[in-house]
Structure 1
Amino acid sequence: MITGRTYNRLQLPPYELPRHKTRMTIKTQTHKGEGYNEIRFEDEKDQEEIHVHAQKDQNIHVNHDETTFVGHDRSEQVEHDETIAIGHDRKETVGNDEQVTIGQDRRHDIGQDDFLTVGRNHTIHTGKDRTEEVGNHRRDKTVANHWVSVGGHQEHTVEGHAELQAGQAIRHCTKVYEIEAAHNLSLKGPGGTIRIDDSGITLDGITILMKGPMNQMGGGTRNALALAAAPTTGQGMDRACAMRADGSCTRRPCPCEKGAA
C-alpha cells in the first residue's frame, strides 16, 4: 500500500514552496464534489502545529482511557447542539473563576441529593417570578440577622400549628391590626389573663385597674364585660333619714327632703 504522493510540475504540493517548506500535509479531495480532508503538520520553530480538517464528520473511538493535556488556553465552539453522556461519575475542578452564560432556559434534574457549599457570599437575582416547592420538611437557619422586605402583600397559610418565639421582644407596627379566633382568644401575662370565647370576655387578674371614663351601652345579646369573681349587684340602697329631734337635718342636701338646716 502506498500513501502519499510525489510532487512535480504537474502534481504540485497543496501549499506554496518554499514558503511552507516545514509543512507536511496529507490532503484528499472530495469525490464528485468540492471539499477535502486534511491532516497537516507544521514544524516551523515556535509555530509547531497539528491541523485536522474533516469535510463533514469526525469520529474518534477509544477502547480504554483518553488523556488530554493543554498547557495554556483551550477554546471550543459548537455551532449547533452538544450532547454529553457519562456512564458513571464526573468531577470538574476550576482553579479560579467560572462564568456560564445561557441565552434561554436551564434545567437540572437530580435523582437524589444536591449539596451546595459557598465559602463567602451567595446572591440570587430573579427578574420576575420565583416558585419553590418542598415535598416534605424545610429548615432555614440564620446565625446572625435576617431581613425580609416585601414590596406588596404577604400571606402565610399554615394547616397545623404556627409558633413564633423571640428571646427579647416582638413588636408589630401597622395601621390596622385584627386578630380573629374561631373558638377562643387568650392574652396571658404575669398578672392575669384576658380570655374571649363564646361565653363573653373574661378578665382574670391579681388587680384590675381601669383608667379613663367607661361607657356602658346596651343592645348586646350577652354581657359586654364579664369579670371573674364579680360581686353580686344586689338591690338598691334605702335612703336613711337623718332628721334631728328639732326637725333639722345634718345632710346637705336632705336625702328625704323633710328637714331643713
Structure 2
Amino acid sequence: MSQQQRNNLIGIPREASSSQLLVKNEAGEVFIATSVSITEKISELSYIEVAVLNLGMDVSAWLGQHISCQIFDQISPSREPVRVYKGVVTGVKILFDADQGSCIALTVEPWLALLRYSRNYRVFQNKSTQEIVSEIFTELKFSGKYQVKKMPKVKREYCLQYNETDLAFVCRLLAQEGVHFYFERDSDMLILQDAALPFDDADQQDFDHFSLPSGDNPLLNHWAPAFRYHSGVLQLAAYNPASTALVEAESKTKSALPGSHSLTDFRYPHPSISGDLSDINKSSAQRSKAQQDSDYSLVNASTESYLICSGNYLKLTSHPDLEQLDDYLVIAARSIYQVDEKGGLSNHTDFNCILSSLPYYPPLLEKPSVSGMHSAVVAGTSAGESTCDNQGRIRIKFHWDEVTGDKTSCWVRVAQSMAGRGYGLQFIPRSGQEGLISFLEGDIDRPIVTGSLYNSKHKAPYAEAETTKSGIKTQLKGESNELRFDDKKDSEELYLHAAKDYFLEVKNDRKIIVENDVDEQVEGKKSVQVTKDISTKTDANYSLDAGKAISEKAQNITLHADKTIVLKVGSSQIKISASKIEIKSSEISIKGTSKVDVTANNVNLKAQIALKAGSANTELSGDIGVKVKGGTMAELSGGAMTTVKGGMVMVN
C-alpha cells in the first residue's frame, strides 16, 4: 500500500453506518472498505479489487466467501446502496498490519469464475450448447444462478472438451454460437442471451455532454468516438464430407469504408457445429461480420456517475456534434470508488459503448490446438466385433473418457490407403483395439482414425523370433484369415490361409507359372467346370489314381498313344499297339444284342479243347469255300434232319 493510501486511512470512519463503502460476508458481518475497483465487460468475467479493514477475522477465512460490495452515495439511517457488486473471494493478501487490525486486499469474481478451477477431458454428443452448459452448471451445483433468455437449439453431433477448464470451454461454446453473457445489475444472476436480441432497457439512463449540461442528467466528462478499418466481405468455407462438397457463405459489411468492398476476409476451415452446414456457415458469417462491424465504431467515455453498467443502455441527450446524439450500449466499464483522507467518496468510471442498433457479438475464442497423434480404444458392444457404418466409420473411446458403451464418440472416419466409390482398401479396427487418432486441421471436434497400435494385451501376430515375417491376419472368433510373407533367406514363403471358404474370381485370363513342384490336397470333393476346351500336357509321365472308380463321359473319347495303350484289370488286359490289339483273360465274352461282325482277310478261331458256335440258326459261308476239319474226328449231325448239299458232294 502506498503512503497516500495509508494517509487516506486516517479519515476512514470506524463505524459501518458512517462509511459509504461496505463489504458484507456470508455470515452477515459488515466490514469497512477503503477502495473498490470494478472491471466488467460483456461476455467476460468481472474483476473486483477491494481494500478492506479486517478487524479480528482470520485472513485466509476470506477465501471462497460469497460477499457483496455496497456503494452508498450518502450517509443516513435510511440509505440504500446505489450499486451492489456480488462475487466470490478468489484471492486475499495483507496490505499492512496495524494495532487495531489489518488492511487486506480482496480479489472478488463472479461465481462463474470458479469454473476456472475445474479442468476436464470429455465428449458431448447430440446436445445443444444450452444443454451442454446447463449440464456443467448443474454438475458444479450452480443450477439456480443463471437464466437463459434465448439460445440457438442446433445440436452438436460431437463436441470435445480437451484439456480446457470448464470456464474456457463454456465461454468458447457461447462465443461460437453468438451468445453473450453478463450479470444482472446489482445481482449475481448470470444471463445468457442470443447476441442478436436487444438488452433490457429498463435501466437506460440519459446523459449530457459536460459542455452542454441540461441540469437534469448526469454528465459525461469525456466522449471520444474511435473507428477501425476492416474488410468489406467476410467469407467462410468448410468441406462437408456428408455431401463431399465445399460449403461457402459470405456476409458484407454495413459500414461504407473506402476500398473495403474489394477486400475479402476468407477463412477456411472455420469452427463449425453439426447440422445443415449451409445454414451454419451462413449464420456464422453473419455473426462474425457483425462482430467486425461492432468494432468499427467504438466510443471511449468517462463519467463520475454511479449509473454506468455493462449490458445497460444510455442515451446521449446533448453533444456539440449532433450526429453523436443516439442510444448506446455499454459493453465494458471500469469503475473506481475511493475514500479520501477526509472520509469523502470519489468515483470515476471509464467505459466503452457502441450504437444500440448494432448487435454485439462476443469475439470467437480459439479451440485448444491438438498436436501429434493420440491414442483411443475402438468402441463396440463386445470385444473383437466390427462395428461401422456405410462410410466405414467407427466409434472410439479416449482413455480419459469415463463414458462406456458403443456410443462414446460420434462416427469417426478411418483413413485408408485408397478410398473410391465402392472400391479401395478397407481395414476397419475392431472393438477393443487401440487406435491412433489425429485431428483434421488440428480441430478437436474432427477426429480421424489413422491406424492401429499393438500393446501388451493385443500383441503382434508374429513373435520376436519371426521378424522376417510380414502379413495380414484377421480374426473375429476362432479361426483367422491370413496372408503372410516370409523373407527369411532360402526359406522365402508366401502363405495364404482361409478360415473357411476361399473364392477366386477372374474376369479374363488366369496364368500361373510354377518353376518347381505343385502339391494339391483336397479333403472333400473337387469339381471343375469348363465351358471350352481343357488341355493338359506333361513332358514326363501322367498318372491318374482313384481309390474307387474313374468315370469319363463324352460324345467322343479318343485315346492316342504313339506306341502302346494297355488296359489292365488283375491278370486281364487289353493291349493296343500300332500293329495289333491283344486281349488276354481267363475268360472273354463278346455279346451283341443285334449283331457281331468280325471282318478280316483271315479270321482264325482256335480252341484247345472245344470250339462251339450255336443258335437257332448257325451259318458258315465262304465266297469260295468253307472247310471243316477235325484232326481226329469231324461230325455233322442234326436232331431231325441233316442236309449236305453242293454242286458236287464228296464223302470219303
Deviation, structure 1 residue 92: 1.1
Deviation, structure 1 residue 28: 1.1
**1:29 equivalent among 472, 475, 487:** 475
Structure 1 residues 184 and 103: CA distance shift in structure 2, 3 A: same
Task: Give the structure 2 partner of residue 109 of structure 1.
Answer: 553
CA distance in 2, matches of 1:151, 1:67: 62
SS at match of 2:568: coil
Contact 2:475 2:481 in 1 (8 A): yes
1:62-98: per-residue Cα shift (whole Å, max 9, x none)? 0000001111110111111111111011111121112
1:107-142: per-residue Cα shift (whole Å, max 9, x none)? 22212x322223223332335998777799877789
CA distance in 1, matches of 2:568, 2:617: 30
**1:49 equivalent among 477, 493, 496:** 493
1:7 aligns with 2:454: yes
Deviation, structure 1 residue 57: 0.3
Q: Give the 5 Å matches for 1:145-224.
A: 163=621, 172=630, 177-178=635-636, 180=638, 184-186=643-645, 192-194=648-650
Task: Give the structure 2 partner of residue 61 of structure 1.
Answer: 505
**Structure of higher CA gyration radius:** 2
Deviation, structure 1 residue 193: 2.3
CA distance in 1, matches of 2:557, 2:467: 57
Give the AA of the match of 1:7: Y
1:27-60: per-residue Cα shift (whole Å, max 9, x none)? 1112xx3111111011112211111111100101
Give the AA of the match of 1:15: Y
Which moved further from structure 2: 149-158 or 82-91? Answer: 149-158
Structure 1 residues 79 and 183: CA distance shift in structure 2, 3 A: same
Give the AA of the match of 1:24: S
Structure 1 residues 66 and 159: CA distance shift in structure 2, 3 A: farther
Structure 1 residues 158 and 126: CA distance shift in structure 2, 3 A: farther
Which moved further from structure 2: 134-143 or 118-127? Answer: 134-143
Give the AA of the match of 2:471: T
Structure 1 residues 85 and 183: CA distance shift in structure 2, 3 A: farther
CA distance in 2, matches of 1:13, 1:151: 83
Task: Give the structure 1 partner of residue 466 of structure 2.
Answer: 20
1:148-188: per-residue Cα shift (whole Å, max 9, x none)? 7799986566989655699xx98655877545597743478
Give the AA of the match of 2:649: T
Structure 1 residues 126 and 144: CA distance shift in structure 2, 3 A: farther
Q: Comparing both structures, which one devotes a greater share of its residues to helix?
A: 2
Give the AA of the match of 1:121: T
Higher relative contact order (CA 8 A, sep 6+): 2
Q: Comparing both structures, which one devotes a greater share of its residues to strand?
A: 2
SS at match of 1:125: strand
Give TM-score, length-normalised by structure 1.
0.54
Structure 1 residues 86 and 22: CA distance shift in structure 2, 3 A: same
Aligned-pair RMSD on alpha carbons? 4.3
Q: Give the 5 Å matches for 1:112-123.
A: 113-123=556-566
Structure 1 residues 9 and 106: CA distance shift in structure 2, 3 A: same
Give the AA of the match of 1:95: D
Structure 1 residues 170 and 161: CA distance shift in structure 2, 3 A: closer
SS at match of 2:472: strand
CA distance in 2, matches of 1:23, 1:154: 77
CA distance in 2, matches of 1:178, 1:13: 96
CA distance in 2, matches of 1:152, 1:76: 54
Q: Number of residues paired by the alignment?
A: 188
Structure 1 residues 126 and 132: CA distance shift in structure 2, 3 A: farther
Structure 1 residues 9 and 143: CA distance shift in structure 2, 3 A: farther
CA distance in 2, matches of 1:172, 1:80: 62
Deviation, structure 1 residue 20: 1.1
Give TM-score, length-normalised by structure 2.
0.24
1:11-40: per-residue Cα shift (whole Å, max 9, x none)? 3211211x211110211112xx31111110
Contact 2:628 2:634 in 1 (8 A): no
Structure 1 residues 36 and 122: CA distance shift in structure 2, 3 A: same
Give the AA of the match of 1:102: A
Structure 1 residues 15 and 173: CA distance shift in structure 2, 3 A: farther
Contact 2:486 2:493 in 1 (8 A): yes
